[in-house]
């Protein structure tokens, strides 16, 4: 339905373009006009398409909600006695009945009736939408076409709408941030209504599984986030221990020692690492590295669990190497040549220069790069989802399995999602914490790097 409407509106708008352009051409044949014919055409096409498509968008966004409200008002009083969850279930039943999904029938007569009402409302809504969208498109087209006059400033009009469009486009970044913050806050508030904030922040036990029967043990679940965050930082620490030295060493090599030919070959090869999807690293970690770590551990007499923090952390470290390397490379290259030359003039060797002049000079930038890398490691999902543990475990031993914030978000949201259940909502609380932590790290890192750049510019 919507697809046909969109096509029809677009066809009308094309027609409007050509007809207005032809009209303007005819005008121009008999004397000078202000705007080029194509601007008249574009103006008419925009008038025809944009408002009509906006109506269509708003309609499809609000139609389900309005219809649901109307149908609810038709339902008998016994419906009002149902709890929120049951009411939602009944509405779902009505919807699938109305859609004619095969094999669905209800034992309650009023549900069948409501489905009938639902269907008739949907029909009315479809007709009303078609009529209003098409009539709007046609009226706007005809009205805009009357504006194709000799002195009409069509170009200015088109340019104004273009300016509005690019301004709105740039606002999307802000809107996205707002939407992230608002949605995380909103769902997290719902979570903290069920689970006290202090339990979440200071609890030592994370066990979101809620028993199906009331009488089972631990029926309320436990939502203490400390073990989850401890696991996250443990894996990030292992990753940084791998990626930090290697990334920094290769950055120094690329910036100071590498022959241009080696650099031309090795740098893109290293950046290839950054382009590999994280799910590939996850598979690699689970299939190869975890058994390898385990066998190595057993060979030297250590007990290593199958999904150890070490394996996940090492692979994550490999993933972050190119990130650190390219950021640190930029930073080292930004150290002015005069510092190097001054050091050489004092008789320092190349390695002395690097150790005592370049690194200290580049230190703020390197710290910034490391902070960005840590934020990246904390937010990484697929590697840990495939190679780290699923159960929370408060330990500092990298040979045991630990879980991370991102893993718990995935676990909570894969499968049934119920937005009144603390297990599902806990994903948003964890997401909020993750967002805040990474945001702080990023802001600090970006400020450091920016200030450092300004220092040498």
Partner 1 sequence: MTGVVLALAAVSFLLVTIFSSGYSAFWRTEIALTIEFDPKLMKVEPDATFDQLQQVNYLALFRKNLERAFPEVTARADRRELAQMFSESAPDLLREMVLADPGLVGARQVVSVLASSSVDMITKGNAPRDIDEARRVISDQQLRWLDRFDESGLLGSRFNSDFFTSGPSRSPELAGLGGAIAGSALLLLVTLLLSFPVGVAAAVYLEEYAPQNRLSEIIEVNINNLAAVPSIIFGLLGLAVVLNFFGLPRGTPLVGGIVLSLMTLPTIIIASRAALKAVPPSIRDGALAMGASPMQVMFHHVLPLAMPGMLTGTIIGLAQALGETAPLLMIGMFAFVADIPGSILDQASALPVQIYLWAESSERGYVELTAAAIMVILVFLVAMNLLAVLLRKKFERRW
- Between residue 166 and residue 225, which ones bind partner 1 under the rule CB under 8 A? 166-167, 169-174, 176-177, 179-180, 183-184, 186-187
- Residues 220-249 touching partner 1, rule: CB under 8 A, are 245-249
The site for partner 1, by CB under 8 A, has a size of: 84
Q: CA torsion, points 273, 275, 281, 282, in degrees to nearest 10?
A: 160
Q: Measured over all CA atoms, what is the biggest interatomic distance in the chain, rounded to whole angstroms?
A: 96
Smallest gap from residue 53 Cβ to partner 1 (A) = 14
> Does residue 121 touch partner 1 according to CB under 8 A?
no
> Does residue 428 touch partner 1 according to CB under 8 A?
yes
Stretch near partner 1 under the rule CB under 8 A, chosen from 114-122, 154-162, 195-203, 388-396: 154-162
- Residues 358-397 touching partner 1, rule: CB under 8 A, are 372, 375-376, 378-382, 385-386
Report which of 191, 194, 189, 245 is spatially closest to residue 370, judged by C-alpha positions: 245
Stretch near partner 1 under the rule CB under 8 A, chosen from 111-119, 357-365, 394-402, 441-449: 441-449
CA dist 158 and 164 (Å) reads 10
Judged by CB under 8 A, which of 34, 119, 155, 453 binds partner 1? Answer: 155
CA dist 183 and 17 (Å) reads 41
> Does residue 350 touch partner 1 according to CB under 8 A?
no
CB distance 141 to 16 below 8 Å: yes
CB distance 219 to 207 below 8 Å: no
Give the H/E segment covering residue 207. Answer: strand 206-207
Judged by CB under 8 A, which of 326, 431, 448, 452 binds partner 1? Answer: 431
CA dist 330 and 326 (Å) reads 6
CB distance 441 to 375 below 8 Å: yes
Q: Which of 47, 284 has the CB closer to partner 1?
A: 284
Which tokens is 6 given? 């969109």
Task: Indicate the DSSP class of residue 222.
Answer: E
Q: Which of 107, 167 has the CB closer to partner 1?
A: 167
CA dist 392 and 401 (Å) reads 8
> Does residue 50 touch partner 1 according to CB under 8 A?
no
Report which of 154, 151, 157, 223 is spatially closest to residue 193, judged by C-alpha positions: 223
Annotate 324-335 with DSSP letters as a single string.
HHHHHHHHHHTS
- Site map (CB under 8 A) of partner 1, residues 402-421, x = contact: ----x--xx--xx--x-x--
> Does residue 345 touch partner 1 according to CB under 8 A?
no
Judged by CB under 8 A, which of 89, 201, 446, 451 binds partner 1? Answer: 446
- Residues 256-315 touching partner 1, rule: CB under 8 A, are 257, 266, 269-270, 272-273, 275-284, 286-288
Judged by CB under 8 A, which of 325, 343, 353, 426 binds partner 1? Answer: 325
Smallest gap from residue 224 Cβ to partner 1 (A) = 21
């Amino acid at each position: 339905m919507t697809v046909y409407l969109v096509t029809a509106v677009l066809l009308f708008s094309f027609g409007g373009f050509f007809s207005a352009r032809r009209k303007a051409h005819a005008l121009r044949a008999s004397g000078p006009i202000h705007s080029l014919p194509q601007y008249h055409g574009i103006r008419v096409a925009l008038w025809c398409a944009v408002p009509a498509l906006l109506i269509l968008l708003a309609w499809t966004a609000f139609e389900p909600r309005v219809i649901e409200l109307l149908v609810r008002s038709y339902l008998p009083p016994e419906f009002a006695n149902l709890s929120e969850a049951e009411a939602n279930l009944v509405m779902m039943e009505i919807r699938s009945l109305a859609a004619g999904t095969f094999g669905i029938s209800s034992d309650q007569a009023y549900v069948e009736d409501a489905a009938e009402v639902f269907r008739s409302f949907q029909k009315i809504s479809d007709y009303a939408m078609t009529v209003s969208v098409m009539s709007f498109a046609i009226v706007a087209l005809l009205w805009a076409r009357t504006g194709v006059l000799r002195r009409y400033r069509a170009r200015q009009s088109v340019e104004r709408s273009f300016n509005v469009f690019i301004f709105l486009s740039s606002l999307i970044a802000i809107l996205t941030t707002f939407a992230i913050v608002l949605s995380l806050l909103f769902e997290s508030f719902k979570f903290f209504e069920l689970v006290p904030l202090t339990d979440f922040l200071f609890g030592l036990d994370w066990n979101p599984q809620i028993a199906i029967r009331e009488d089972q043990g631990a029926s309320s679940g436990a939502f203490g986030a400390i073990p989850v965050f401890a696991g996250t930082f443990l894996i990030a620490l292992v990753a940084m221990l791998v990626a930090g030295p290697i990334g920094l060493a290769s950055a120094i090599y690329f910036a100071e020692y590498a022959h241009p030919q080696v650099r031309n070959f090795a740098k893109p090869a290293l950046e290839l690492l950054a382009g590999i999807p994280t799910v590939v690293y996850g598979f690699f970690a689970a299939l190869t590295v975890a058994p390898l770590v385990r066998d190595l551990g057993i060979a030297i007499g250590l007990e290593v669990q199958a999904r150890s923090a070490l394996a996940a952390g090492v692979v994550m470290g490999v993933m972050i190497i190119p990130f650190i390397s390219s950021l640190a490379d930029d930073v080292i290259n930004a150290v002015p040549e005069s510092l190097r030359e001054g050091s050489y003039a004092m008789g320092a060797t190349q390695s002395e220069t690097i150790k005592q002049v370049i690194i200290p000079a580049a230190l703020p930038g390197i710290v910034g790069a490391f902070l960005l890398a840590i934020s990246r490691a904390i937010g990484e999902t697929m590697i840990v989802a495939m190679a780290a543990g699923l159960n929370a475990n408060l330990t500092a031993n990298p040979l045991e399995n630990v879980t991370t914030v991102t893993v718990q978000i995935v676990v909570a949201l894969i499968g049934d999602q119920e937005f009144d259940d603390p297990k599902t909502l806990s994903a948003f609380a964890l997401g909020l914490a993750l967002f805040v932590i990474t945001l702080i790290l990023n802001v600090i890192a970006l400020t450091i790097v920016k200030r450092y750049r300004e220092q040498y510019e």
